[in-house]
Structure 1
């Protein structure tokens, strides 16, 4: 057991190295193989321990950026995320007793990944295997099989590697024929999408500007300097308008400001509203503004929205953030004794943010746009749902100021790149102080602004209405993995009860006892 635990601890760290800022994606299969080998041969009652240790080192390493919120928040959140590796260890122990166990163990990995990505409080999707696959053959499969499918493919590569390591000694150093077949099949599934990219039809073009205005001072506290933040975005947009008039830059069809480019209600604050109107009139095209608005039905609630401002008209279409951050943008069970709202930095969340529900794309001029606000980009249903309803382009408005000195910026920007591959859409990212960028449907970064930069990107992008198989499938592959977890768990318990009944001593006298009695 000590060697198993050591292997699991190292495996978790190796898996974290597959993600940014290290980004060695090829390390993920060996890491998954290490977990499987550390559990192999253990009963469920013991298999959870190495799996938990694997989860602890992986989770705390890959999400070390949470320390920017507070060490207590980092410890608490990662402890909760690590706990999901306990049922994973049990499920791996069950699966390793079955034929074709590389398939069942990889399904358990993805099922647990799906579970923790949506529970509790909308879950924490960061750390999904698919989110480290940019610039790899696995990433090329995204338009075909989606995020869940790619995670399954990476996990299957790892579990197959573990199977080969187990099989080789039994074959006296000669791989069995089935090993060649399994590896060949896996290679074909992995490499085929890179050789046969999904065909996309162009429905038009648009020129889009993304503004990164930066945050004054340390760049970590937007609310403290929110008026200066808004002024930066107004000034940069007016400078763009002047450059357009001088013929130095092309006129965009619309402009994208980031989340929290206005940290107050832009319809109630006269100064902020005047700045937005001035910028919109100067550039004379719509601006997608990131605003924090009060809920008209309840002044104790707040909405985080992307708001389309039309020149000369004012507010138009809106998108409301679907996944507010628990304990960052709202406090679950506010007022309860177990987590008082006066604890630590929770006093900085005086109002709870309301979750958006609409999947209708924004209408910005003549373009239908799928919008995502910050952590929304890490959830599958939002962007894909809007693209399925006709969105021709994707925008991501984000405010990562609190994490501006961490790898969170790189991890989230990589997810934005992967969304471009998944949906077959250009993605325009506007971040308040990094990383902003324009990404092609093949995941290529056409232009970007680094953290703490202050710049306006203006790029022509292609529009498309083609629906990839991943978009058509939606969230059903993820739901299937959850159904698998439930069915396999029920089957395992039924099999256990049957086995227990079979092991109970019979009340009938044994044949040996009968024979002894006859002899006597």
Structure 2
């Protein structure tokens, strides 16, 4: 396209051309969703995240608000329907689609907000990186909390487990990582936009430098290091007889697998071929038989603890006095004395559609598989379990996606944190998405971490986000490692949710500030959107 210089430095409603043609914008919206998808595990093309943001921004720029919403919704569908496919394994297609649609609606709001701010960008093109960063943080802040308590899967920050931007988590948590990635995308679209005169050499170089600095510059940022003191920690990944929905019918076999793995480790320790662990971590659902009510389960767990001569953090499902209600818990099981009920953590944030089903009567009209998802009750306290040798921040499964739950364990005294998870009813893609979150949390709080899964992926993670001793998927494994304890408190831990709240407040101010500009602007894109 041949471009002519504008008559004045400012792009006004009279001089700015209409938005991209709607069919072109639709293609860009689809490509944006695809780029955001493959940037996340298990694909791991982290460098496509800013490209996805840029494609999205180009698609919705200068559009009418309704069109911006629907283009955002399309991007959300392309991202979330395949990303959350594993949620259908437990309860069928309806909860999967309801969750994907709910997440996509929030992406629609992102598209609407982006279109609303078009006059600001038209006037000050250099604001595009800042506004993109703020809008994406605000969108994720909403998804982290709504609907049904939020579901943060698919955040830009969770795509950066192998990217330099991960290091920024130590200074502003996941929101700062998201801001950097989205702002880089804003710089890319500002550089590449061709609907009016492209920037002169100086501004073009500036946008390129901003994008490069945001994505590569964090390599120069130091990360926090843990303390010198160590504790020896073992992970037992017992595996299950069969993957899928049959998991809950194999409770005793799963428990026996974890007992057997611990007994083999005890034999290795006795023979001097392995170090004596200070604590052994079993995954979520390693005893899906309630050992506080079933004496046989309690007996075999006690035998394993006595043989290994160390406390075992047992992931278990506790029955309640109300039929159908359960608690997802981690209990410290000591050699000689058995369960320590003072060192018990009950999962605080059961996940909708995976661990309880909102609108269950409505969902049951479509599929009876919703009844395979039991009603999980919420815990009421932070998961810090003290073994005497090490204070463990216990985080169960999907809770690793929520900023406050992980931070609360560190501020309450956790020296390391453990993510107990059960991926037997999902797949390896979901497991690797969780591991990426564990890596971010380790950097965010300067604490070494581990993920213990029934079937994989289990791993130890260093405070710089590096992965040690990663297990395979759908296999048994036992891993032992000296984990560094404590360390200095990161800026992200000290600040908590304040960076995110500040960015959300700035987003609201930007949206409000665009109102008078929209009132003065003459709408010039009606004809273009009709094409």
TM-score by length of 1: 0.89
CA distance in 2 between counterparts of 1:57 and 1:347 reads 28
Contact 1:153 1:190 in 2 (8 A): yes
Select the residue among 80, 89, 102 that pairs with 1:68: 89
Deviations 1:98-125 (A, max 9, x none): 1313312321122112211221122221
User: In the alignment, what sits opposite 1:467?
Assistant: 489
Which residue of structure 1 aligns with residue 376 of structure 2? 353
Number of matched pairs: 492
Structure 1 counterpart of 2:26: 5
After TM superposition, give the deviation of residue 338 of structure 1 in Å: 3.4
Aligned pair partner of 1:302 in 326, 329, 336: 326
The correspondence for 1:195, drawn from 207, 214, 220, is: 220
- Taking only aligned residues, the RMSD between alpha carbons, in angstroms, comes to 2.3
Give matches, 1:196-235, under 5 Å.
196-218=221-243, 220-235=245-260
Rg: which structure is higher? 1
1:37 — aligned with what? 58
User: Is 1:89 aligned to 2:111, yes or no?
Assistant: yes
Distance 2:27 2:305 in 1: 59
User: Aligned pair 1:113/2:134, yes or no?
Assistant: no
Are positions 1:379 and 2:405 aligned together? no
CA contact (8 A) 2:281 2:313 kept: yes
Residue 326 (str. 1) matches residue 352 (str. 2): yes
Cα shift at 1:184: 3.1
Of 156, 161, 186 in structure 2, the residue corresponding to residue 134 of structure 1 is: 161
Say whether the 8 Å CA contact 1:213–1:433 is kept in structure 2.
yes
Among 28, 33, 47, the alignment partner of 2:68 is 47
Please give the residue correspondences for 1:278-427 in structure 2 after superposition, counting only pairs within 5 Å: 278-295=303-320, 298=322, 300-316=324-340, 317-332=343-358, 338-340=362-364, 343-350=367-374, 352-359=375-382, 361-404=384-427, 406-427=428-449
CA–CA distance in structure 1, aligned partners of residues 303 and 272 of structure 2: 20
Segments of structure 1 that go 5 or more residues without pairing to the other structure are 501-520
CA deviation string 1:5-46 (max 9, x = no partner):
111112211221111222111111111111111111212232
Structure 1 residue 78: deviation in Å? 0.9
Give the structure 2 partner of residue 146 of structure 1: 173
Query: Hey, what does 2:457 align to over in structure 1?
Result: 435
What is the CA–CA distance in structure 2 between the aligned matches of 1:11 and 1:219, rounded to whole Å? 32
Q: Is the 8 A contact 1:115 1:482 kept in 2?
A: no
Runs of 4+ aligned structure 1 residues displaced above 6 Å come to none
* Equivalences for residues 264-275 of structure 1 within 5 A: 264-275=289-300
Are residues 92 and 181 of structure 1, via their aligned partners in 2, closer, same or farther at CA, if it must alter by over 3 Å?
same
Residues 374, 399 of structure 1: 8 Å contact kept: yes
Asked whether the 8 Å contact 1:290–1:306 carries over to 2, the reply is: yes
CA separation in 2, counterparts of 1:459 and 1:12?
Answer: 39
Structure 1 residue 269: Cα displacement: 0.6
With over 3 angstroms needed to count, the CA separation of the structure-2 counterparts of 1:481 and 1:322, relative to structure 1, is farther
Match of 2:12 in 1: none
Cα distance in 1 for residues equivalent to 2:139 and 2:459: 32
Distance apart, 1:313 and its partner CA: 1.7
What does 1:237-276 align with in structure 2 at a 5 Å threshold?
Answer: 237-276=262-301
